[in-house]
Structure 1
Amino acid sequence: MSAVPPLDPSATPVSAAEASALFEPLADEPGLLVAVSGGPDSVAVLALLADWAKLPGRPSLQAATVDHGLRPEAAGEAEAVARLCGRLGVAHRILRWAGPKPANGLQAAARQARYDLLAEEALRRGNAAIVTAHTLDDQAETLLMRIAHGSGPAGLVGMRPRSLRGAVAIVRPLLGLAKSRLIATAEARGLPFVRDPSNADSRFERVRWRELAPSLAEHGLDAARLGLLAERMARQEDALARRAADVLAQRRLPVTVGEERRLGFRQLAEEPEEIVLRVLALALAEMTQGVESYGRLERLEACAAALLAASRAGSATKRTFSGCILSLDRNGVLSLRREGPRRRGVHPATS
């Protein structure tokens, strides 16, 4: 492992008191599994958590490192993390991504595998919460990527401080801290760390946005401003999601077919378009667990627009979306049912 200078020479290490305040929401977790890659962010979080968890009444702390098997050095780096954990008194396990690796979408597949392995280990550890070292810089990069991909309000929330992967909680206590402060923490404590060369590989989208960050900051679009946007969007998202759930409950109609859903769409159409979109998304989510690409919102908007136009005209129509057929009758009742396995996308359904 080797050292690298802080991204900001003026960055100060995270103090014990500051770490205690940041970790306080984790005090009631059944256990903590900190994901440690060996980079400066994660080794700093590991050391801070190790100190915090020693106090009475704290949850048990374990660490895990995922060896994706993509670089010859990865195995040695994982072993180095194990030695550091031993020095800090933290139990550690290396998790290996076995099997063939995809030729395309390697970073996305590696991320999926990493969280799958961590979730399995967390469950094995008694449903411990997974702690990641995501920082304000990571949040900013996430928002820029989602803006570029045409994400809606829900995507612009960015990463949440707490989310679920199945039954396992993923907690990100340091989303408000700059990455440079974690590097400064690792250096001040003399912690050994590595820098993954893929983090500087411009073939990857996140890296390209990272390279643009200094230029964007010069024009006022820095990580702090993007982080504030994420917080504001989260506040709005929570309010809109609650309203959409209430409206769905109000407009749901009895059904006679097992997996069919029926909505009073004529009354739903009186709501703001954003609520109509969200109610449709909630109803569809009850029907299918399919995940689509970044263009999903645009297709949902097109589907909703067609249904709204037909409702206002008092006509019937059918659309398909996300593995479902949506049938609107002349009385303004919308029925949703699963479609056949070969039909995907949004288009007028043939009858």
Structure 2
Amino acid sequence: MLTPADIALCGLDPAGLFAPIADRKTIGLAVSGGADSLALMLLYAAWSGRKPKAIVYTVDHGLRPEARAEAAMVVAEAEKLGLSCRSLVWTGDKPVTGKQSAARSARYGLIGQAMEADGAEILLTAHHQRDQAETILMRLAHGSGVSGLGGIRTFSNVEAVSVFRPLLGVPPEALATLVARAGLSPASDPSNTDRAYERTRWRDALPGLAELGLGPDRLSKMAERLQRIDAFAAREADRFITRHGALDPLGIVRIDRTAIETADPEIKVRVIERLLAAASGGHSFFLSRIEALAGRVAAGEHFTATLAGARVLADANTIVIHREAGRVGLPTASLSPGETLVWDGRFVVAAAKAGTIGPATGLTRKAFKELTGKALSGPVAGLRTAPLLRDRRGEIAAIGSLEVGEGFSVTQIPLTS
């Protein structure tokens, strides 16, 4: 058993590490059996005083013969510590390529379902200081901007799971020492030393970088500072969009041309990225392409362009952005009474009765005016990529967020956070 002296010797303070989630009722602990996650579990068990109920989740991914035994070891050690534990199994066919990404998605999917059933509010993971350093280096090599170089966030959402990472500032060596003092033998995943993976190659490069003064501690501190800058710039972008941008009921986005031309360069890039995301329903863009588009705007060009699933039309007064049609098929779905879904990443639809939803393909300006009593103010292409809801009789109930019938509520994902 660990003693307070063992924990202090490793320079760790459970109360301080877990303070941000002390007011939660039930939390989850993601424990794979490696040294880092075992240390997370040990530290949580050693946290004295009032704390949330914890449920340990471990996943047998079936990718290695040892996976089942490792999951069983986690269950046994959790029980020794007085913690509830659920062993989850990833069944079905496994991918031949992209195993790490697929396993990650499967892991969060299984844990997310279990957390929902258990009433767990947030998942604690054991990402640590070196993980942060590796992430920053990879993103630097990939050309990330300030947001990406801020690295891993302490709080985030991953695969629809709310995640808290209390160990981001902790060196992995301290965690390994803690596990050793507890007398545990952690599992070892061979993929962690496989240089076929980019993260492993950056991990191998870290000692040399540390000799030059660029160790995990410095990189981690840089991430903290960039996260502050990122948060400030995000707030300024929100203010700018609130003042100068607009989202119409069809999902067409507009921004005042003069305002965006004269905006600070960083705000210009962020605003354009945010508007592209709102118009396309996407969330991942190449920064260099956003910067190139911002450069065309700053230069006063009049142009049309397609980027990241969105169509951009820039004239003298306004920049209009709408969902691109044709390249990626827009979704169609049946709706059941009581069902809520997010359509194309842009509209939230709540159904009180049965119906269908799909793009308003083929709808004309004349038909739009007849249905809504309003003239179409944007491009027809924008209209035809908006959602069209029909009830089970085939009657149109809504176009975009314009409700022209009963039984459906449609709202839009807002432009600002």
- TM interval, short-chain normalised: 0.7 to 0.9
Partner of 1:154, secondary structure, is helix
> Shift of the alpha carbon at 1:100?
2.4
> Secondary structure at 2:222's aligned position in 1?
helix
* Conserved? CA contact 2:105–2:159, under 8 Å: no
Task: Name the structure 1 match of 2:251.
Answer: 259
The structure where strand makes up a greater share of residues is 2
Match for residue 134 of structure 2 among 137, 141, 159: 141
- Shift in Å, 1:209: 0.7
Within-5 A mapping of 1:278-293: 278-292=270-284
Select 1:98's aligned residue among 91, 107, 113. 91
Match of 1:347?
none
Deviations 1:256-285 (A, max 9, x none): x62211110221111111101101111122
**Paired residue type of 1:317:** F
* Structure 1 segment 40-59 matched on structure 2, within 5 A: 40-52=35-47, 55=49, 57-59=50-52
* Aligned match of 2:296: 306
2:156 is the alignment partner of 1:159: no
The equivalent residue for 1:325 is 311
Which residue is 2:30 aligned to?
35
User: RMSD in angstroms over aligned alpha carbons?
Assistant: 2.0
Query: Given the superposition, is the C-alpha separation of residues 291 and 251 from structure 1 closer, same or farther in structure 2, using an over 3 Å criterion?
Result: closer
State the match for 1:245 in structure 2: 238
Q: Give the 3-state SS of the residue equivalent to 1:79 in structure 2.
A: helix
**CA shift digits 1:156-183 (9 cap, x unpaired):** 1111111123664200011111000000
Alignment pair present for 1:150 and 2:143? yes
Between Structure 1 and Structure 2, whose CA radius of gyration is higher? 2
Question: Could you state the TM-score of these two structures normalised by the residue count of structure 2?
Answer: 0.74
**Bigger shift: 60-69 or 233-242?**
60-69
1:297 and 2:287 aligned: yes
Change (3 A) 1:206 1:258: same
Contact map agreement 1:129 1:169 (CA 8 A) in 2: yes
Give the alignment of 1:83-122 within 5 angstroms: 83-122=76-115
Task: Answer with 103-112 or 39-48: which moved more.
Answer: 103-112
Deviation of 1:26 (Å):
1.4
Question: Which ranges in structure 2 are unaligned for 5 or more consecutive residues?
Answer: 1-7, 330-380, 382-417
Aligned 8 A contact 1:245 1:282 in 2: no
- Residue 198 to residue 308, structure 1, CA distance change in 2 (3 Å): same
| Structure-to-structure mapping, 1:9-20, within 5 angstroms | 12-15=9-12, 18-20=13-15
Deviation string, structure 1 residues 181-207 (Cα, Å, up to 9, x no partner) = 000000111123111111111111111
| Correspondence for 1:268 | 260
The residue that corresponds to 1:342 in the other structure is: 327
**Cα contact 1:119–1:165 (8 A) shared by 2:** no
The residue aligned with 2:180 is 187
Asked if 1 retains the 8 angstrom alpha-carbon contact of 2:280 and 2:322, the reply is no
- Structure 2 counterpart of 1:148, which letter? A
* Larger mean Cα displacement after TM superposition, 219-228 or 281-290: 281-290
Kindly indicate whether the alpha-carbon contact (under 8 Å) linking 1:251 and 1:265 is maintained by their aligned counterparts in 2.
no
Judging changes above 3 Å, is the alpha-carbon distance between structure 1 residues 165 and 127 closer, same or farther for their aligned structure 2 residues? farther
The one-letter amino acid of 2:176's match is I
| Greater mean alpha carbon deviation, residues 130-139 or residues 321-330 | 321-330
Give the C-alpha shift of residue 322 in structure 1: 1.2
Matched, 1:131 2:124: yes
The one-letter code matched in structure 1 to 2:63 is L
Q: CA deviation at 1:299?
A: 1.4
Residue pair 1:40, 1:193 contacting (<8 A) in 2 also: yes
| Distance in 2 (alpha carbons) for counterparts of 1:162 and 1:228 | 17
Measure the CA separation in 1 of the matches of 2:257 and 2:120: 41
Contact 2:124 2:164 in 1 (8 A): yes
For residues 134 and 33 of structure 2, what CA distance do their matches in structure 1 show?
21
**Number of the residue aligned with 2:16:** 21
Q: Identical aligned pairs, as a percentage?
A: 39
Matches within 5 A, 1:189-228: 189-228=182-221
Alignment deviations for residues 288-314 of structure 1 (CA, whole Å, 9 cap, x no partner): 333546xx11111122222332xx25x
For residues 252 and 292 of structure 1, the distance between their equivalents in structure 2, rounded to whole angstroms, comes to: 21
My pick for the range that moved more, 124-133 or 110-119, is 110-119
Aligned counterpart, 2:390: none
Matched residue count: 323
What is the Cα deviation at residue 101 of structure 1? 2.4
Maintained 8 Å contact 2:277/2:283: no
Contact 1:290–1:323 (CA under 8 A) maintained in structure 2: yes
Structure 1 unaligned regions, length at least 5 = 1-10, 345-350
1:290 partner amino acid: G
Q: Please give the TM-score of this superposition, normalised by the length of structure 1.
A: 0.87
Give the distance between the partners of 1:20 and 1:258, measured in 2 at CA: 49
Deviation at 1:139, TM superposition (A): 0.4
